[in-house]
């Protein structure tokens, strides 16, 4: 049977704002009030304060210091000889107890800069400058995703007229300014800013149904932090052969380069680090994972104070809970949801899996959820799709998306007053924000396939 032709797209009456602009206005208003209160009435950090620090290029060296420490060891034969040529993880992570938790493939990104600079390490100022421009590029790609979803004919939901379109983009920029995770990665001096940009590019390529560049960019992303490596199995299950091939080949190239430059032992010893962290994790409130929630709930380790050289003590209940929750989240991410079809359904399925894989890690710092900014930029216009092919579930339950955005984008440090009580579970507000988004995406990815199947079964003319 032929599928019915799409009918005309509903547009708001002249002089009225579109429902999407109204929703964005409400969400931006709520987040602006939260930021104003935190900025002017408390001493707590908020997104706007972080944005000011970003504009002034005020940043620390969280990632850079540890990565430079590893580079210095790997490129100093005399130092390696002093330690009997032990692996970089054996010396830095296990002996010196410095939390260098990146694979050696991540160091390859610093090698060209190191060679240009002419030393063993790369200046922190240079790395922060690159991170500053990376954040700006991330914002531009996020805006591009938003506009592309609005303007694509398959969506048909864009606000009527240039005025509402301009208003939607301006409101998006205001929402971005309240998304603290965006600026946290820069202020901390984190390589997470590059990961955020790469993930935004992956979403853009997935929107354009270009699996080859999407696989390449995701492979580069996993070379920095491999928590999304499960996408190899994900792609095989869904028979996305070109995506899997380019993703795997990119990872293999980085792994091969790491073995060539740093040696087999230094490369594979990272697995020992992963095993050690998985059994312990972090108890400090910044760890927004099941592991962090359990450690705090059982008062297993410091909640508020950062310990530079120690992880949470081993606790059997935490270890079992971490393994079980990680397994469930990975299975949920790999699970092939039946009848998922259409671009929105495919994007929802992909993003849902990525979020599950990130949440499955024992340590998920708040800024790791920064990859979700372009996801919100895609979901908001998709939720208000007024075309016949639009998924009405998204609009009816868009409040879930709003709650997830508010919980993930803000810093509610006042909840740390609950650290010594059983209510410290509320310190995991960003974890619950991510969990809310999982529910939103999960039900949608299932329903999108059912709606697409029902529409395909309609006879022509109905």
Phi and psi for 336 in degrees, rounded to 5?
-85, 110
DSSP H stretches of helix in 238-340 = 241-262, 264-268, 270-278, 290-297, 316-334
Using one digit for the tens of pLDDT, what is the confidence trace for 218-262?
Answer: 999 999 999 999 999 999 999 999 999 999 999 999 999 999 999
Using one digit for the tens of pLDDT, what is the confidence trace for 278-305?
Answer: 889 999 999 999 999 999 999 999 999 8
Q: pTM score > 0.85 for this model?
A: yes
Domain count of the fold of the chain = 1
7 in a structural domain: no
Judged against a pLDDT cut of 70, whether residue 10 lies above it is answered with no
DSSP reduced 3-state for 287: strand
Percent of the chain topping pLDDT 70? 88
- Annotate 72-116 with DSSP letters as a single string: HHHT-HHHHHHTTT--HIIIIIIIS-----S-GGGGGGTHHHHHH
18 in a structural domain: no
State the Cα–Cα distance between residues 272 and 412, nearest whole angstrom: 35
Contact 193, 183 (CB under 8 A): no
Task: Collect all residues with Cβ–Cβ distance below 8 Å to 302 and sequence separation of at least 6.
Answer: 283, 284
41 in a structural domain: no
DSSP reduced 3-state for 365: strand
- Supply the pLDDT for residue 117: 87
Q: Domain limits at 322?
A: 57-451
Task: Collect all residues with Cβ–Cβ distance below 8 Å to 196 and sequence separation of at least 6.
Answer: 134, 135, 138, 182, 185, 370, 371, 373
Contact 284, 364 (CB under 8 A): no
Q: Comparing 264-268, 292-296, 337-341, which segment has the lowest mean pLDDT?
A: 337-341
Contact 62, 190 (CB under 8 A): yes
Contact 38, 411 (CB under 8 A): yes
Contact 110, 122 (CB under 8 A): yes
The whole-chain average pLDDT of the chain stands at: 88
63 in a structural domain: yes
The pLDDT-based confidence of 7 (bands split at 50, 70, 90) is very low
CA nearest neighbour of 412 among 53, 55, 59, 42: 42
- Supply the pLDDT for residue 119: 86
- Supply the pLDDT for residue 346: 87
8 in a structural domain: no
13 in a structural domain: no
Contact 388, 454 (CB under 8 A): no
232 in a structural domain: yes
144 in a structural domain: yes
């Amino acid at each position: 049977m032929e599928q019915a032709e799409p009918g005309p797209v509903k547009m708001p009456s002249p002089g009225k704002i579109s429902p999407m602009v109204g929703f964005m206005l409400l969400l931006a208003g709520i987040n602006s009030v939260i930021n104003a209160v935190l900025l002017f009435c408390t001493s707590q950090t908020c997104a706007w304060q972080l944005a000011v620090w970003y504009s002034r290029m005020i940043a620390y060296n969280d990632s850079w210091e540890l990565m430079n420490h590893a580079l210095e060891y790997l490129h100093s034969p005399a130092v390696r000889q002093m330690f009997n040529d032990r692996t970089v993880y054996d010396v830095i992570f296990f002996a010196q107890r410095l939390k260098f938790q990146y694979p050696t493939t991540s160091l390859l990104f610093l090698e060209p800069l190191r060679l240009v600079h002419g030393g063993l390490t790369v200046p922190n100022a240079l790395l922060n400058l690159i991170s500053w421009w990376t954040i700006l590029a991330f914002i531009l790609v996020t805006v591009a995703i938003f506009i592309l979803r609005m303007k694509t004919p398959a969506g048909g939901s864009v606000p009527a007229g240039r005025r509402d379109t301009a208003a939607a983009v301006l409101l998006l920029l205001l929402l971005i300014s309240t998304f603290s995770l965006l600026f946290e990665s820069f202020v901390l001096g984190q390589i997470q800013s590059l990961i955020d940009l790469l993930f935004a590019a992956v979403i853009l390529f997935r929107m354009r149904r270009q699996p080859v560049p999407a696989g390449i960019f995701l492979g580069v992303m996993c070379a920095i932090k491999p928590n999304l490596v499960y996408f190899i199995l994900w792609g095989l299950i869904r028979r996305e052969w070109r995506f899997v091939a380019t993703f795997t080949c990119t990872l293999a190239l980085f792994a091969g380069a790491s073995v060539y430059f740093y040696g087999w032992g230094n490369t594979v010893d990272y697995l020992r680090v992963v095993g050690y962290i998985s059994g312990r994790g972090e108890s400090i409130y910044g760890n927004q994972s099941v592991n962090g929630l359990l450690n705090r709930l059982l008062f297993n380790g410091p909640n508020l104070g950062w310990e530079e050289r120690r992880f949470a003590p081993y606790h059997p209940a935490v270890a079992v809970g971490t393994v079980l929750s990680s397994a469930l989240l990975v299975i949920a991410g790999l699970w092939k949801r039946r009848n998922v079809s259409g671009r929105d359904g495919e994007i929802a399925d992909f993003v849902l899996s990525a979020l599950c894989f990130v949440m499955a890690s024992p340590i998920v710092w708040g800024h790791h959820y920064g990859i979700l900014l372009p996801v919100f930029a895609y979901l908001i216009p998709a939720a208000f799709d007024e075309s016949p092919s639009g998924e009405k579930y998204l609009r009816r339950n868009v409040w879930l998306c709003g709650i997830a955005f508010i919980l993930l984008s803000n810093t509610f440090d006042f909840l740390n007053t609950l650290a010594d009580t059983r209510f410290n579970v509320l310190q995991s507000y960003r974890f619950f924000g991510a969990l809310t988004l999982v529910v939103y995406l999960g039900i949608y990815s299932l329903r999108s396939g059912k709606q697409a199947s029902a529409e395909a079964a309609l006879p022509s003319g109905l």
